[in-house]
Structure 1
Amino acid sequence: MEDTLNLMPLWAFFAALAVTFLAGFVKGAVGFALPLIMISGLSLFLEPQLAIAGILLPVVLSNFLQAGRFGLAQIRAVVIEYWRYILIVCVMILFVSQFVTVIPAQVFYLILGVPVVILSLIQLFGVRFHVPPARRRIAEWGIGAFAGGLGGLTGTWGPPTVLYLIALETPKAKQMLVQGVVYGLGSVSLLIGHLQSGVLNTVTAPFSAALLIPAFLGMQVGFWLSDRLDAEVFRKITLIVLVVAGANLVRRGLMG
């Protein structure tokens, strides 16, 4: 852990703990945005590759906590129904994650910031798409490839997945289950991909492991408050914060 702390000032480590707790809280309360909040927040004061390494274990933990709230029979049914989407997301994450180490920092900020702003604005303004049943198979492969590619580069494939489920007119209760399964299996692919890429290594892994604690605690608070919050208002506030954070990442990508 001493080698890990040498990568950053002590204040940055404690700031990372706070960002992760907030991300866990939002994840527990509304079911999404942990990797978006973490990568956007950590990238403000950490190098991009270190920020990506930091999110890896909390992303796995949070998604399996979310999926674990449902029964095995429900999870199995989701895998059977959405296997094409899950497969292409996982394959693209594994493939694209190998290119993270060769992307310049400013390009990374743009790759992360632009989709965060656009996809958050789409959700914030309630823009809806519709995928007719006859086009579902094509949409699964196409949107899944985009989501997985984005996930491999930035560690988040949630917004395209949410928009896809909305386009299929998936009931809200089922959306939470499908998201948990897609995010859970995708997070395993991301972890494997970055073990291979070298982003997660003996120096960065302890940092990611340390962030498991605030992620878990934040999710527990979020779960506890989820029934007491106005979920729609809270979701909109979260999206506004993500737009601002994404815009700042775009600024850094353009101006350095």
Structure 2
Amino acid sequence: MTFDILTLAWIGAVFLLAGTVKGTIGLGLPSISLGLLAATLDLRVAMILLLAPNLVTNLWQACTGGHFAVLLRRLWLFLLCATGAIWIGSAGLTAVDTRLLAALLGLLLAIYALIGLTRPPLSLPARHEVWAGPLVGLANGVLTGLTGSFVVPGVPYLQALGLSRDQLVQAMGLLFMASTLALGASLGGRSLLTGELLWLSLAAVLPALLGMGLGRRLRQHLSEAGFKRAFYGALLLLGGYIVARWLLS
């Protein structure tokens, strides 16, 4: 597969924007980049391009914060199910029309955006984690394998656990990092991960990191709450557009 200069410029711009969003509010790189790329490229290509930037930008988030051991003891079964089920979900990439899977991605992004905008009171008593964690993990893994999206229902589940802000940020980093590694292994195992796409994914790390640096500077001059509302609003429109495009196709 070869890309023309305009497509390469678009890919770079997408990761620059997604990195800027993550640098500003601490989240959003996989959702923004995957949504924009899936709206213009094949979903499987978009998933592969996301691998290296998402791994690099979440590695630091997962390993810093001072809560790694505590979170791993609490979330290991959830994370194990979330990563293991990705292989099951990725089977659909060769068996299901990718246009339908892209529409599913749009729906998941819209749901995630609505949760972010409405901020419903999410709470899960600790006694229910023993069964809810594996179930949510399995669902998250299957959907990740099908669409490349890591957020639904995994992120709402983590938000419902009553973690502190720092713990929640690190827990999301753990989920995203582990899921990215499992997704890459799954795509490679199904012969979808070509050398050219892998190199292009590695090249996309640079604009993503540049965007994060820009976002950190913007954070000093912008309202984080207002920027988050704009982010979720844009994500809702993007998800709706992807679904509408499938319905009209």
CA distance in 2, matches of 1:191, 1:86: 16
Structure 2 gap segments, 5+ residues each = none
Aligned residue for 2:43?
48
Q: Indicate if the aligned counterparts of 1:63 and 1:187 stay in contact, CA closer than 8 A.
A: no
Answer yes or no: is 1:113 the counterpart of 2:106: yes
Pairing 1:239–2:237 present:
no
- 1:187, distance to aligned residue in structure 2 (A): 1.2
State the 1:228 CA deviation: 4.8
By how many angstroms is 1:159 displaced? 4.1
Match of 2:178 in 1: 185
RMSD of aligned C-alpha atoms?
1.8
Among candidates 128, 136, 140, match of residue 133 of structure 2: 140
Identity over aligned residues, as a percent? 27
Aligned residue runs from structure 1 range 222-233, under 5 A: 222-226=215-219, 228-233=221-226
Letter in 2 for 1:98: A
| Structure 2 counterpart of 1:218 | 211
Quick check: 1:162 aligned with 2:155? yes
Q: Does the CA contact (< 8 Å) of 1:37 and 1:242 recur in 2?
A: yes
Q: Output the TM-score relative to the length of structure 2.
A: 0.92
Q: Partner amino acid for 2:78?
A: Y
**Which segment is superposed worse, 242-251 or 189-198?**
189-198
Runs of 5+ in structure 1 lacking a partner?
none
AA at the equivalent of 2:49: G
Question: Could you tell me which residue of structure 2 aligns to residue 150 of structure 1?
Answer: 143
What's the TM-score, normalizing by structure 1?
Answer: 0.90
Deviations 1:127-147 (A, max 9, x none): 223212221212111211121
Distance in 1 of aligned mates of 2:155 and 2:95: 29
CA contact (8 A) 1:32 1:158 kept: no
Query: Which of residues 19, 22, 31 is equivalent to 1:24?
Result: 19
Structure 1 runs (4+) greater than 4 angstroms displaced: none
Are the counterparts in 2 of residues 64 and 184 from structure 1 also a CA contact under 8 Å?
A: yes
SS at match of 2:196: coil
Query: Structure 2 residue aligned with 1:64, among 52, 59, 68?
Result: 59
How far apart are the structure 2 equivalents of 1:107 and 1:218?
Answer: 31
1:224 deviation in Å?
A: 4.1
Q: 2-side partners of 1:28 and 1:161: how far apart? A: 21
